[in-house]
């Protein structure tokens, strides 16, 4: 029996086909064996752990080019790897926006040596201004599969329809992702419009600002046949709209962020801008609804919406501070601890389902079998740990989970056969 470069021993392999006790052997970036008693040049201990396909994040802000004080592709990918991700879709609201071939290539180049795969998404409109479509065919040629103006939703209904129609004509199977927020309804709001915004005297963003755009895009997707993905769903109304649309056969998919699965608008009572995010933290009934939506399959994936910001930015007055919070290193633990998903369900929404949405299933999220690329994570499902904001690979510290006790954590991450994270430590 040939020796493998790397063996993962003692764990339980879990993928979309089920779970079994097995070691995994890896050579030259590829899984070369799945079985008992494997040996190899290097060993990763996985006793009591689950060995699953690497996680895939549909939604991370890596801030490069242009906002490197908060994060770079390198540091963001490192944080992703620590969180068990072997692939990350990088959001295009950089400076300049990822709306042209040059910037796409730049981000792809930055990602080449990163600790996980970095797949830039491209903006739907030039400069994310919502006026003119980006050259979607050219960008899809370069490998872009997800288009979004994330940070903002596309406000012009006519333009959104055209974008969907055009996308259906591309040879590549691309997905249009939407940050659903109707700006006219946001009315200068900075938190969820509810009992807390009334009490705190902070202008509120009604749930309707999200739901109106969800309804619009569902109708336009029906009209055009386009594949639409809804980003960071946060309200009970949005979940219900998607549930009904799917029941009627819609091709839509949807994601939810870890913070919307855990935190409510009550957190804003501290006036700490770490808790400011778009869409905002909602009320408990919304948190309950998105959890139920994740459990029953209405929501297909957890996307971190990892949004790093400098300390200075997050110390501004609440209404001036930029929205967003960290998430890459906590998503899996949040899903296991707070939502109570089983490890199989957690891997489904963090690994193979998002991989499918991003059209990355060839490389990521796939079954752990011989011949597949070795993109894996090893999870200790029972370890108890407390979130320490200083223990992060991110350049930023806007962490809403500081001090939170969690159960379950990624122990090792293997990317293209290389163990990039061992015992929660990034290896380079």
Partner 1 sequence: MKHLLSIEDLGADGIDEILQLTDTFVEVSARPIARVPALRGKTVAFCFYEDSTRTRVSFETAAKRLSADTVNFSIAASSVNKGESVRDTVETICAMGVDGLVVRHQSSGVPWQITRWVDATVINAGDGWHEHPTQALLDAYTIRQELGSVEGRHIAIVGDVKHSRVARSNVAAFTALGAQVTLVAPPTLLPHRMDDWPVEVSHDLDGVLPKVDVVYLLRMQKERMTESLVPTLREYTAGYGLTRRRVDLLADDAVVMHPGPMNRGVEIAAEVADLPRAVVTNQVRNGVAVRMAVLYLLLGSGVDLKPEVVGG
Which residues of the shown chain bind partner 1 in the complex (CB under 8 A)? 193-195, 197-204, 206, 270-272, 312, 315-320
Helix (H, G, I), strand (E, B) or coil at 274: helix
Closest among 426, 346, 428 to 392, alpha carbons compared: 426
Cα within 13 Å of Cα(155), Cβ side: 12
CB of 58 to partner 1, least distance (A): 32
Contact 386, 405 (CB under 8 A): yes
Q: How far is the CB of 44 from partner 1 (least distance, A)?
A: 42
Output the smallest distance, CB 208 to partner 1, in A.
11
Tokens describing residue 214: 């969800």
Phi then psi for 188, rounded to 5 degrees?
65, 25
Backbone torsion region of residue 203, taken as left when φ is above 0, otherwise alpha when ψ lies between -120 and 50, otherwise beta: beta
Give the Cα separation of 360 and 382 in Å (integer): 29
For residue 129, what are its two tokens?
A: 């201004």
Residue with tokens 């080019």: 65
CB nearer partner 1, residue 274 or residue 289? 274
User: Which tokens go with 62?
Assistant: 């890596």
- Shortest distance, position 309 Cβ to partner 1, whole Å: 14
Exposed / middle / buried, residue 23 (Cβ in 10 Å: 0-12, 13-18, 19+): buried
Q: Which is nearer to partner 1, 42 or 199 (CB)?
A: 199
**Token digits for 298?**
């209405």
Q: Which is nearer to partner 1, 123 or 202 (CB)?
A: 202
Q: Which is nearer to partner 1, 84 or 323 (CB)?
A: 323
The Cα–Cα gap between 149 and 183 comes to: 13
Is the CB of residue 90 less than 8 Å from the CB of residue 104? no
How many whole angstroms from its chain centre is CA 61? 9
Residue 320 burial by Cβ neighbours in a 10 Å radius (0-12, 13-18, 19+): exposed
Active site residues: 305
Which of 15/193 has CB closer to partner 1? 193
Q: Report the residue number, 170 or 271, with the smaller CB distance to partner 1.
A: 271
Beta bridge partners of 426: 421
| Min dist. Cβ of residue 183 to partner 1 (A) | 15
Return the structure tokens found at 21.
């006790």
Smallest distance from partner 1 to CB 322, Å = 14
Of the pair 202, 421, the CB lying nearest partner 1 is at 202
Contacts of 31 (CB under 8 A, 6+ apart): 24, 25, 368, 369, 370, 371, 372, 373, 374
CA–CA gap between residue 428 and residue 65 (Å, rounded): 22
Are the C-beta atoms of residues 231 and 180 closer than 8 Å to each other? Answer: yes
Q: CA 94, CA 11: separation in Å to the nearest integer?
A: 40
CB of 193 to partner 1, least distance (A): 5
Between 271 and 370, CB nearer to partner 1: 271
Q: How far is the CB of 315 from partner 1 (least distance, A)?
A: 5
């Amino acid at each position: 029996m040939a020796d493998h470069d790397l063996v993962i021993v003692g764990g339980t392999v879990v993928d979309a086909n089920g779970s079994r006790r097995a070691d995994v052997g890896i050579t030259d970036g590829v899984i070369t064996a799945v079985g008992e008693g494997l040996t190899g040049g290097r060993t990763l201990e996985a006793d009591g752990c689950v060995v699953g396909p690497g996680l895939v994040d549909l939604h991370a802000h890596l801030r490069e080019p242009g906002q490197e004080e908060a994060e770079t592709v390198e540091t963001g990918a490192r944080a992703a790897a620590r969180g068990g991700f072997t692939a990350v879709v990088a959001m295009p609201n950089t400076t300049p926006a990822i709306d042209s071939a040059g910037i796409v290539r730049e981000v792809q180049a930055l990602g080449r040596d990163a600790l996980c795969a970095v797949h830039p998404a491209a903006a739907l409109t030039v400069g994310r201004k919502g006026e003119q479509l980006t050259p979607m065919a050219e960008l899809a040629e370069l490998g872009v599969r997800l288009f979004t103006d994330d940070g903002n939703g596309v406000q012009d209904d006519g333009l959104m329809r055209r974008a969907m129609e055009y996308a259906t004509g591309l040879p590549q199977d691309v997905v249009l992702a939407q940050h659903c927020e109707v700006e006219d309804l946001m009315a200068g709001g900075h938190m969820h419009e509810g009992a807390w915004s009334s009490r705190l005297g902070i202008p509120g963003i009604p749930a309707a600002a999200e739901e109106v755009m969800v309804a619009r895009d569902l109708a336009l997707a029906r009209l055009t046949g386009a594949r639409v993905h809804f980003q960071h769903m946060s309200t009970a109304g949005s979940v219900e709209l998607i549930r009904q649309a799917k029941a009627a056969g819609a091709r839509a998919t949807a994601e939810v962020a870890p913070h919307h699965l855990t935190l409510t608008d009550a957190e804003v009572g501290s006036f700490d801008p770490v808790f400011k995010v778009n869409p905002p933290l909602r009320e408990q009934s919304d948190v309950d609804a998105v959890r139920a939506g994740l459990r029953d399959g209405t929501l297909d994936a957890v996307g971190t919406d990892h949004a790093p910001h400098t300390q200075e930015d997050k110390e501004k007055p609440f209404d001036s501070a930029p929205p967003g919070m960290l998430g890459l290193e906590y998503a899996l633990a949040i899903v296991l601890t707070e939502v109570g998903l089983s490890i199989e369900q957690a891997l489904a929404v963090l690994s193979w389902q998002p991989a499918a949405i991003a059209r990355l299933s060839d490389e990521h999220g796939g079954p752990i079998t011989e011949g597949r690329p070795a993109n894996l994570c090893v999870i200790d499902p029972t370890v108890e740990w407390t979130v320490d904001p200083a223990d992060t690979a991110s350049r930023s510290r806007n962490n809403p989970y500081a001090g939170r006790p969690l159960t379950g954590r990624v122990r090792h991450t293997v990317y293209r056969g290389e163990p990039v994270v061992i015992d929660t430590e990034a290896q380079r």
